[in-house]
């Protein structure tokens, strides 16, 4: 059966199909944020004859148990009745005995709803494990896929102490798309428009699928992410309320808003929230990082005790809290489209993209294309932000070590105009000032053997190339190099 093409899910699809096609039973865990495409992925892998798909709802576990039995009965054409399955052990025993002569797949989506709370889910997992460890009366293979959006809860199922610890044949995390895979869903737009849409809507397939391809990119951003009743705007505003077991969501939302508005450290977050930078606040921040709402970063080669900084993980959330939320009152009063054209589009949005999204795209692109382009392999990129010994601020957009241990540094510009000699000389001078301030890595980066990497959305003027040190490898990429290779 020909399946719809999957964007950037080939590895996950191959892993799950491989488990389903092998001779012995297999158990897999698939987790990821809401609307990241887990359901779509699983729905594309097998036809309805091969796979039974069940999605639990946020109701009582007892109701889900009864509906699951009824779903299995219809799918297999078997005489299964809820009243004959008062326990989860009996349910799993019947599920694993369905169509014993045929290879089948059983998908239990939103698995966390089969129980009330983490302790209840451990009990359900224990019942599944008890049946799994007993002799399965099958002549053909079975793959059971446990799937859900309660990322932390499902992650605990594979950790030590869980009934399923060591039982899983695969554990897959379905992540949002990066800039490149997001662009595959936006093929009708220019490269700069695809960049703008990714910066406003992020990498969730459900957000990107809401784009009207016949409408301009800017109108889609206004309609979906800036308008107070926009689909993406509403999703971000309400997503914390949908997290299992999360209380006082207004406090978590305040942390996200503080970071979106410029706070980077726990102290800065506390100041914006008007509260103390105490242990309870640190726990809120840590929990948001565990839930993948936040990501932490450090200056290159500095320890976690020196200036751990936080940022919103999702570009759509960055746009929401930095641009859409502060403009919400104006959008209600004067219309979102008017606010976009007069206040946001001319300067605010390009500055936001350049500072908060384009650098991420540069890092993603370098890792994606380094082997093909024959570049030094840098497995992880960081940045450096601070001041030299005179107190003058310095930003180095990209700093990373290659697999061989050498340094690569870089500068990223989202401007429409071409990068000139000044771009090269400013980067070189910033490293010299840091080296003079005692940063040993900056002295190392100044050595001719350390490459420079530049990304300029507007391209490069002749003066840029004339300014480059002929004894140093200089990589100069344009916007097209990010997308067309």
Domain boundaries, the chain: 10-173, 179-352, 358-483
Rounded CA gap, 123 and 115, in Å?
Answer: 8
> 312: part of which helix (H) or strand (E)?
strand 309-312
Rounded CA gap, 371 and 394, in Å?
Answer: 30
Instruction: Note the pLDDT tens digit of each residue in 258-290.
Output: 999 999 999 999 999 999 999 999 999 998 998
| Band (32; pLDDT cuts 50, 70, 90) | confident
Give yes or no for residue 434 having a pLDDT over 50. Answer: yes
Q: Stretch 7-35: mean pLDDT, rounded?
A: 89
| Band (3; pLDDT cuts 50, 70, 90) | very low
In terms of average pLDDT, the best of 42-46, 293-297, 406-410 is 406-410
Asked if the 10-173 domain carries CATH number 3.40.50.300, the reply is yes
Cβ atoms of 166 and 25 closer than 8 Å? no
Cβ atoms of 182 and 314 closer than 8 Å? no
Which pLDDT score, from 0 to 100, does residue 4 have?
Answer: 44
Which pLDDT score, from 0 to 100, does residue 300 have?
Answer: 93
Give yes or no for residue 222 having a pLDDT over 60. Answer: yes
Instruction: Note the pLDDT tens digit of each residue in 301-339.
Output: 887 777 789 999 999 999 999 999 999 999 999 999 999
The mean pLDDT of the chain is: 92
Helix axis angle for 191-201 and 349-356, nearest 10°, is: 80
Question: The tokens of 122 are what?
Answer: 């451990």
Instruction: Note the pLDDT tens digit of each residue in 365-397.
Output: 999 999 999 999 999 999 999 999 999 999 999
Rounded CA gap, 178 and 223, in Å?
Answer: 22
Query: In terms of Cα–Cα distance, which of 123, 105, 104, 106 is closest to 114?
Result: 123
Query: In terms of Cα–Cα distance, which of 450, 443, 356, 468 is closest to 402?
Result: 450
Q: Stretch 138-144: mean pLDDT, rounded?
A: 91
Cβ atoms of 156 and 162 closer than 8 Å? yes
The alpha carbon dihedral of 328, 330, 335, 338 has a sign of: negative
Cβ atoms of 382 and 297 closer than 8 Å? yes
DSSP 331: H
Which pLDDT score, from 0 to 100, does residue 2 have?
Answer: 34
The answer to whether the 10-173 and 179-352 domains have the same CATH topology is no
Instruction: Give the residues across from 460 on adjacent strands.
Output: 419
Which pLDDT score, from 0 to 100, does residue 5 have?
Answer: 53
| Band (156; pLDDT cuts 50, 70, 90) | confident
| Band (243; pLDDT cuts 50, 70, 90) | confident
Query: In terms of Cα–Cα distance, which of 174, 167, 173 is closest to 24?
Result: 167
| Band (180; pLDDT cuts 50, 70, 90) | very high
Q: What is the CA radius of gyration of the chain?
A: 26
Asked if the 358-483 domain carries CATH number 3.40.1350, the reply is yes
Cβ atoms of 163 and 122 closer than 8 Å? yes
For residue 40, which phi and psi values (nearest 5 degrees)? -60, -45
Asked if the 179-352 domain carries CATH number 1.10.10.10, the reply is yes
| Band (6; pLDDT cuts 50, 70, 90) | low
């Amino acid at each position: 059966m020909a399946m719809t093409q999957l964007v950037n899910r080939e590895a996950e699809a191959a892993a799950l199909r491989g488990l389903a096609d092998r001779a012995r039973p297999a158990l897999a865990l698939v987790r990821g944020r809401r609307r990241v495409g887990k359901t779509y992925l699983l729905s594309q892998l097998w036809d309805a004859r091969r796979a039974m798909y069940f999605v639990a709802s946020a109701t009582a576990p007892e109701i889900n148990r009864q509906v699951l039995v009824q779903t299995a009965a219809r799918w297999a054409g078997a005489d299964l009745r809820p009243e004959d399955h008062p326990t989860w052990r009996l349910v799993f025993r019947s599920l694993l005995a369905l169509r014993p002569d045929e290879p089948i797949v059983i998908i239990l989506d939103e698995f966390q709803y089969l129980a009330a709370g983490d302790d209840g889910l451990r009990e359900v997992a224990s019942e599944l494990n008890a049946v799994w460890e007993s002799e399965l009366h099958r002549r053909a293979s079975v793959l059971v896929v446990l799937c859900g959006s309660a990322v932390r809860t499902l992650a605990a199922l594979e950790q030590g102490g869980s009934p399923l610890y060591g039982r899983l044949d695969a554990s897959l995390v379905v992540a949002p798309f990066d800039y490149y895979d997001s662009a595959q869903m936006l093929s009708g737009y220019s490269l700069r428009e695809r960049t703008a849409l990714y910066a406003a809507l992020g990498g969730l397939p459900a957000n990107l699928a809401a784009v009207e391809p016949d409408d301009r990119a800017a109108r889609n951003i206004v309609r979906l992410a800036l308008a107070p009743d926009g689909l993406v705007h509403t999703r971000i505003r309400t997503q914390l309320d949908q997290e299992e077991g999360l209380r006082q969501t207004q406090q978590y939302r305040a942390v996200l808003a503080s970071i979106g508005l410029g706070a980077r450290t726990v102290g800065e977050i506390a100041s914006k929230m008007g509260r103390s930078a105490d242990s309870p606040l640190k726990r809120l921040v840590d929990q948001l990082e565990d839930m993948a709402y936040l990501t932490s970063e450090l200056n290159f080669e500095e320890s976690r005790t020196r200036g751990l900084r936080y940022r919103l993980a999702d570009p759509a959330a960055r746009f929401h809290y930095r641009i859409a939320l502060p403009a919400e009152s104006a959008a209600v009063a004067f219309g979102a489209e008017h606010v976009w054209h007069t206040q946001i589009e001319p300067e605010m949005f390009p500055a936001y993209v350049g500072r908060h999204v384009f650098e991420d795209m540069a890092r993603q692109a370098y890792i994606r294309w380094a082997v093909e382009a024959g570049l030094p392999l840098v497995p992880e990129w960081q940045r450096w932000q601070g001041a030299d010994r005179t107190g003058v601020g310095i930003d180095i957009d990209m700093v990373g070590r290659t697999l061989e241990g050498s340094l690569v540094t870089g500068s990223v510009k989202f401007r429409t105009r071409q990068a000139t000699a000044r771009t090269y000389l400013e980067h070189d001078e910033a490293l010299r000032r840091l080296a003079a301030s005692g940063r040993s890595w900056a002295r190392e980066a100044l050595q001719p053997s350390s490459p420079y990497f530049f990304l300029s959305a507007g391209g490069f003027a002749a003066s840029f190339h004339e300014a480059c040190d002929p004894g140093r490898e200089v990589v100069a990429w344009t916007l097209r190099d990010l997308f067309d290779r």
